[in-house]
Amino acid sequence: MRKFVLAVGLVLMASGAQAATLNVVGGQLLGASGVIVDGNSYNVEFLDGTCSVLYSGCNEASDFTFQTSGAAELAANALLDQVFLDGVLGDFDSDPDLTAGCEFEFICGAFTPWAGNGVVNDSQLVSNDFEELGDGVSHVAVFVGLHTNDEANRVYAVWSVGAVPVPVPGPGVLVGLGLLGVGVSSLKSPR
C-alpha cells in the first residue's frame, strides 16, 4: 500500500506543472505567456529589430528583464523546455521557421540579452534546431545595432514579468487525489 501511495504522490507532483500558453497566429509562434523561469512567470515575444530599439536603448541594466548570465541562461533553457515544442498548435521544435522572425527552416536562434558586471551587450542565444541534437544555449555578444531583419535565422526573445500563476488542478491531479482517497479509505476499512 505504501508503494501505491508513493506512486500516486509522484503522479500528483508531475501533474501539477504549469504549461506555458503559446501565442500562435496563422501557424506562426509569436511568443508565450506563463513561461516559468526559476519559479517565476514570464511572458516572451519573438521580435525582429535592434537591441537598442527593443530594449529601451540597450545601454542600462534596467533595460533588461534578466540581470545575470545565469538568469538569462535559465530563460533560454525555458524556451527549449516549455515553448519550442512540437504539439497540436505546431511543430515549433522540428520546424524552427514557424517562429516569428525566423525564415530558415533548419535553425532559429533567439537572443535573450542580459545586464551584469557593467556589460549590457551580452546575451544567451538559444538555438532551436530541427534536430534535437542541435538544440542548446550559448553565450554570445550582441551588438546594439544588430538588426535581426538582416539575419534569417535570428530573432530577439523580449521578456516581461508575467502574472503570478494560479495553480489549477488538471485532470491528472484530480485522478491522483481520487486514487489517494481510495488508498487511504482502504487503509481504514476493517479486514
pLDDT greater than 50 at residue 20? yes
What is the C-alpha separation between 126 and 74, in angstroms, rounded? 10
Query: Cα separation of 163 and 150, whole Å?
Result: 33
Mean pLDDT of 42-54: 92
Distances (CA, A) of 39 to 43, 144, 152, 161, 176: 13, 30, 33, 12, 23
Q: Quote the CA–CA distance of 106 and 151 in Å, as a whole number.
A: 14
Q: 109-160: per-residue pLDDT in tens?
A: 888 988 765 544 567 777 776 666 678 888 887 777 777 887 778 899 999 9
* pLDDT, mean over the chain: 78
Structural element, H or E, at residue 177? helix 171-188
pLDDT at 171 over 80: no
67 φ, ψ (degrees, to nearest 5): -100, -15
Pull the grid cell for residue 141.
555578444
Residue 144 dihedral angles phi and psi, to the nearest 5°: -50, -35
Choose among 57, 60, 36: nearest CA to 159.
36
Distance separating alpha carbons of residues 34 and 157, to the nearest angstrom: 14
Break the chain into its structural domains and give their ranges. 1-16+170-191, 18-166
Q: CA 13 to CA 173: how far, in whole Å?
A: 8
What order do you get walking across the sheet with 136-141 strand by strand? 21-25, 28-37, 40-47, 154-161, 107-116, 119-129, 136-141
The better pLDDT of the pair 175, 80 is held by 80
Could you tell me which residues come within 8 angstroms of residue 141 by beta carbon, excluding any fewer than 6 positions away?
Answer: 121, 122, 123
**Rounded distance, CA 75 to CA 157, Å?**
10
Q: State the cell numbers at 173.
A: 491531479
Q: Quick one: which of 14, 65, 1, 2 has its CA closest to 175?
A: 14
Q: Who has greater pLDDT, 183 or 55?
A: 55
